[in-house]
Structure 1
Amino acid sequence: LRKVKVETPKGGYEADIKEFWQTGRSLPKDHEFRKWMPSNKWATEIPRFKEKVHKLFEQFDLVGKSLLKSVAIYLQIDENYFEEVANEGNSVMRTIHYPPVRQNEKGERSGAHEDINLITLLIGGHQPGLEIRSKKKEWLPVNFDPEVLICNIGDMLQRFTNHKLVSTTHRVVTPEESSKNTSRYSIPFFVHPNPNWVIETLDSCCSEDNPKKYQEAILSEDFLQERLKEIKLI
């Protein structure tokens, strides 16, 4: 028997009720980041699968870079800053299937958590269940619009900005009785920086009212590995 890693929210004990397939950035064999970013595994049974997935990945990647430029402008730093530190980032596109919920099954489809990366883009998931936690600690349902792309802030950006931009706490709850027998699908795109980026809090985001929360810098790859251990994926 082979032990299977199942994603579990940081500090949680019950694994998420979901399964997923994901793809990352394709790099040349001699690229310096290949030691951190392995080759993708492709489903050969589906015609043009690699071609279509690669195209969607590239579209997500372009949108992510555009949004990060807007973030840089808001932070009053060089608008091309993230283009330099996230141009070949360890970004991941994940296709998630939340299966029908069995009777008396414990746990949530995805327990309350924050994403690890810079920002997350989300399409799909038209079935109910996604909720975000407000500043008042209230859980609010997210109503999807097919013309809207949802963007969450992740922990790396939160650390970089000294919590000026706060990571979005969210979850996918077990549906009402009428929807329990229905699968739920979504496609998040996790925008990551280059693995050699050093996350050092911006001085401009620190003040007397918001003193520096992180005294030491950390390599983004080290941050990622720490968090993957916390959610039991490695």
Structure 2
Amino acid sequence: MSDTLLAQIPLIDMADQSRDPQAFAAALGASFERFGFAMVSGHGVPQQVIDRAWAQTKAFFDLPEEEKRSYFVAGGGGARGYTPFKTEIAKGATHVDLKEFWHIGRELPDGHRFSDSMSPNIWPARPEGFRETFLDLFAALDTAGDKLLSAIALHLGLASDWFDPAVKDGNSVLRLLHYPPVTEDAPNVRAGAHEDINLITLLLGAEEAGLELLDKQSGEWLPVKPPEGAMVVNVGDMLQRLTNHVLPSTTHRVVNPPVERRGHSRYSMPFFLHPAPDFLIKALPQCISDANPEREPPITAHDYLAQRLAEIGLTKK
């Protein structure tokens, strides 16, 4: 990251949240309002869990193609398990993304009321320890996400626990991403310009260059490369809709690396924090005004997700 960009998007330490919740909420909210993105350190996700997860991610994607494809669920919308290379496409894009990925969701007990709308997890036979590692990482990111939502609630003038019932048993997804090496003349970006669907995204793995956000004020693409150990957090479309665009869901992409780096893979692990399927996404009253009238009608999280998955090619319309 350039010094100029780091000056524009300040690094926010979550350790400050316990000392001064309001100040932390104000800093996070200001970064979101300006960029739709924030850089966050002190997030509490144990480094040893992250290190295990990187090793497991690389080991899985190194498996033979036939073995990986055995975990692909046709017609499943990529909800769980493996999604092959060149499957997903950004809304409105002409080229498919140059990536393959694996999805892990929330573990629900038998007979849970959301069992019909939240698929059970799929676990590969290899590498050993995969399930344990990613259940640990999912739980740690879930906890960090809850703390960030608490700060967002305070920034919006809500009670700090306002999001708790909304995300309890939420349909959150941990995505393990592999962008394979690309040819020197590859015309595509690794992931086309898009916005995320969910409330917020917590991203591990942005330290490898490639992630860029579209600055709405300047119209320029800005590189997003946090300091080592920090994570990138961005607003998703569900939170944008809930806040009537007060907190914007910013367009971002993953570009091909410089020619000298095109022989290298890129890995990342975004955690897409979703509300429960029956949560009603309706603009908050304090985010509606004469200058900013309500922009979109209410919709449940489940119905909105279904619309968006069809748009990006993971399900059929």
1:39 to partner: Cα distance: 0.8
User: Residue 87 of structure 2 aligns to a residue in which SS?
Assistant: coil
1:178-225 CA-to-partner distances (Å, cap 9, x unmatched) read: 1111110100000000000011111110112211112x2101100000
Aligned to 1:104: 185
1:154-199 CA-to-partner distances (Å, cap 9, x unmatched) read: 0000000000000021100011111111110100000000000011
Residues of 2 paired with 1:38 and 1:29: CA distance?
12
Residues of 2 paired with 1:49 and 1:106: CA distance?
34
Taking structure 2 as the reference length, the TM-score comes to 0.71
| Percentage of pairs with the same residue | 45
Tell me, yes or no, if structure 1 residue 206 matches structure 2 residue 285: no
Residues of 1 paired with 2:207 and 2:230: CA distance?
11
Aligned to 2:136: 55
Letter in 1 for 2:138: F
Letter in 2 for 1:62: T
User: Residue 132 of structure 1 aligns to a residue in which SS?
Assistant: strand
Unaligned runs of 5+ in 2: 1-73, 76-83
Count of aligned positions: 232
Residues of 1 paired with 2:230 and 2:304: CA distance?
30
Aligned to 2:304: 223
Aligned to 2:37: none
Higher relative contact order (CA 8 A, sep 6+): 1
**Match among 153, 157, 163 for residue 239 of structure 2:** 157
1:40-92 CA-to-partner distances (Å, cap 9, x unmatched) read: 11112222211111000000000001100110111111221110110111000
Aligned to 2:122: 41
Letter in 1 for 2:195: E
Contact 1:26–1:39 under 8 Å retained in 2: yes
Letter in 1 for 2:259: E
Residues of 2 paired with 1:179 and 1:138: CA distance?
23
Tell me, yes or no, if structure 1 residue 32 matches structure 2 residue 113: yes
Tell me, yes or no, if structure 1 residue 73 matches structure 2 residue 160: no
1:144 to partner: Cα distance: 2.6
Contact 2:206–2:231 under 8 Å retained in 1: no
Unaligned runs of 5+ in 1: none
Letter in 1 for 2:247: L
| Greater per-residue helix proportion | 2
Residues of 1 paired with 2:306 and 2:199: CA distance?
15
Residues of 2 paired with 1:81 and 1:194: CA distance?
14
Taking structure 1 as the reference length, the TM-score comes to 0.95
Contact 2:184–2:259 under 8 Å retained in 1: no
Tell me, yes or no, if structure 1 residue 125 matches structure 2 residue 210: no
Residues of 1 paired with 2:204 and 2:247: CA distance?
22
User: Residue 34 of structure 1 aligns to a residue in which SS?
Assistant: coil
1:131-210 paired onto structure 2 within 5 Å: 131-135=212-216, 136-210=218-292
1:98-137 CA-to-partner distances (Å, cap 9, x unmatched) read: 0110243331100000000000000113321110111221
1:146 to partner: Cα distance: 2.0
Letter in 2 for 1:202: L
